Amino acid sequence: MKQILLLVLFNIFISSVYADTIIIAADLWCPYNCKPSSQQPGFMIEIAKYAFKEKGHKIIYKDLPYARAIEYVRYGKLNGLIGADKDEVPDFIFPKNEQAVLCWSFFVKTGDPWKFNGLKSLFNTDIGIIGGYNYGSIISDYKKTNPKYVETISAENALELNIKKILEGRITATVEDIRVMKYYLKKTGRVGLLSEAGQLQTEVPKLYIAFSPKIKKSSIYAKILSDGIADMRKSGMLRDILAKYGLTDWKK
């Protein structure tokens, strides 16, 4: 009996010694990442928590403006950035397998005839974007050549502010992931007030929880997450998590 007790205590001690607390952050971007304290913190958060829990580690998720989260992760103040793509933070450490995909689309006030059809269609069009996000070359080119028509917001409620600007007629359009916008409009009782006005990209970018280049264990964390989501896809756990948010696996 004493030997069994000692073995149990030894295993608890070993687990506590090697267990890491991994802090990841981004601004609220439901359903990818939602309120940290909610029962549904976002499917990317649930994926990360499950994958790291299987290896004895703990995830702490913080809500921060995206631009600030990038800087904190870049310099090692935090472990990981949620919803990153490889073009916007190429110096970060990425898992092999992505944790989501996105679809940037333009949204306008319902009834507005404006439609996106390439860079030329943006001519003299006021648009709102969120600071720190990588929207691709079309938006960056438009911002360089027509800066007065692009309003950039870096705030925790940036999406809400852009929606208000559209409804008040202060800007014509905003760019947002289609899942995020539909989820937010439904949550805030605004379904039908905004309409999709064209998809920004022809290719679907992959999204990751990317890790700090300044933290030695980042490569280990990236592998845990990459292997974890592959295992979750095989076991059906990924399907179950996505279903909670009304989504299905992007690879099926």
| CATH classification at residue 141 | 3.40.190.10
For residue 1, being part of any structural domain is answered with: no
pLDDT for position 125: 97
Give residue for tokens 């925790």.
156
Do 64 and 138 fall within a single domain? no
Counts of helices then strands in the chain (DSSP H, E)? 8, 10
pLDDT for position 157: 87
Q: Is the pLDDT of residue 8 over 50?
A: no
Domain range holding 43? 19-101+205-243
Do 73 and 112 fall within a single domain? no
Query: How far, CA to CA in Å, does 9 sit from each of 6, 56, 58, 66?
Result: 5, 16, 20, 42
Up-side HSE of residue 244: CA atoms within 13 Å toward CB? 17
Q: What is the pLDDT of residues 156-211, one digit of tens each?
A: 788 999 999 999 999 999 999 999 999 999 989 999 999 999 999 767 789 999 99
Do 156 and 189 fall within a single domain? yes
Do 143 and 230 fall within a single domain? no
Q: What is the pLDDT of residues 49-70, one digit of tens each?
A: 999 999 999 999 999 989 899 9
Q: What is the pLDDT of residues 230-244, one digit of tens each?
A: 999 999 999 999 999
Residue 97 phi/psi, 5° resolution? -95, 135
Mean pLDDT of 120-125: 95
Do 171 and 238 fall within a single domain? no
Q: In what order do the strands lie in the sheet with 58-63?
A: 58-63, 21-26, 80-84, 206-211, 100-101
Q: How confident is the model at residue 11 (pLDDT cuts 50, 70, 90)?
A: very low
| pTM to 2 decimal places | 0.76
* CB neighbour list of residue 21: distance below 8 Å, 6 or more residues apart: 57, 58, 60
Q: Which among 126, 101, 106 has a CA at the least distance from the CA of 118?
A: 106
For residue 248, being part of any structural domain is answered with: no
pLDDT for position 75: 98
Q: Is the pLDDT of residue 18 over 70?
A: no
pLDDT for position 10: 40
Do 125 and 94 fall within a single domain? no
